[in-house]
Amino acid sequence: MPAVIFDLDGVITDTAELHYQSWRAIANELGIPFDHQANNALRGLSRPQSLEKLLGPRSGDFTPAQKHDLLARKNDDYLARVAGMSERDLLPGVEPLLRSLRDARIPMAIGSSSKNATFVLERLGVTSYFEAVVDGLAAPNSKPHPEVFLLAARRLGVPPAGCVVIEDAEAGVAAAKAAKMRVIGVGPAERVGGADVITPTIAALDTQTVLSLFPARSAGPNR
Ligand code: BG6
Ligand code: MG
């Protein structure tokens, strides 16, 4: 039985914008220019990786304790924003897709770099669709490392070749490819061009396209 592994941030909900607001507050405080384009380069990366990218050549100016403080404050700000989320923050087309995959009895998992994935899913009210939630706590090697997707596949009991990943991040597409999975990229080709199929939005993706990426079942007698 094949399976679908969803990234969370930027696929199920637009937390990319909330991450942006929280990082921008830190960047402003430090006098570092930060715009949406810079934020897009952080998609799929862990919190510490994101901070390193944001600090760039100034990374060496900060002690580990100062970085720890910046990360904690960024996350406090982000969590306050997530607390205000509800099912209204599901991206258009997500719930119909989840429902139709569930109706087709396709097992589903979340594979996210976020350590806040469980909280975000609860706020969105969609936890029950997923048989496994693998987050940045369970898989410390962040995307583009394949660990998060390989662990999700293992928890679903499906071999990697039977999994289709839905991702919005360049690092996430690379992680899915490294896991030897098929991948649907959500967003512009400049970002997710490495995917097998690209869709501008989840709303534009139909269930049939997802199912068409599953490996063909080998036909044969008594199978
Ligand atoms: C990813 C996001 O899903 O999670 C990144 O795309 C984010 O932008 C990363 O940095 C880590 O998230 P969190 O919630 O643990 O800070
Ligand atoms: Mg994402």
Q: State in Å: Cα 222 to ligand 1 middle.
A: 46
Total number of residues shown for the chain: 223
Q: CB of 113 closer than 6 A to ligand 1? A: yes
Contact between 176 and 197 (Cβ < 8 Å): no
**pLDDT tens digits, residue range 12-28?**
999 989 999 999 999 99
**pLDDT tens digits, residue range 95-104?**
999 999 999 9
The CATH superfamily label for domain 16-82 reads Putative phosphatase; domain 2 (1.10.150.240)
The 3-state secondary structure of 32-52, one letter per residue: CCCCHHHHHCCCCCCHHHHHH
Q: State in Å: Cα 15 to ligand 2 middle.
A: 8
pLDDT of residue 217: 65
Q: CB of 74 closer than 6 A to ligand 1? A: no
Q: CB of 45 closer than 6 A to ligand 1? A: yes
Contact between 161 and 180 (Cβ < 8 Å): yes
Task: Quote the CA–CA distance of 48 and 40 in Å, as a whole number.
Answer: 16
Give me the residue spans of the domains in the chain: 3-14+90-217, 16-82
- CATH says 3-14+90-217 is which class? alpha beta
Contact between 19 and 117 (Cβ < 8 Å): no
Cis amide leading into 33 (omega within 30): no
Active site residue 9: yes
Helix (H/G/I), strand (E/B), else coil: 3? strand
Contact between 205 and 199 (Cβ < 8 Å): yes
Task: Quote the CA–CA distance of 148 and 212 in Å, as a whole number.
Answer: 23
Its pTM surpasses 0.75:
yes
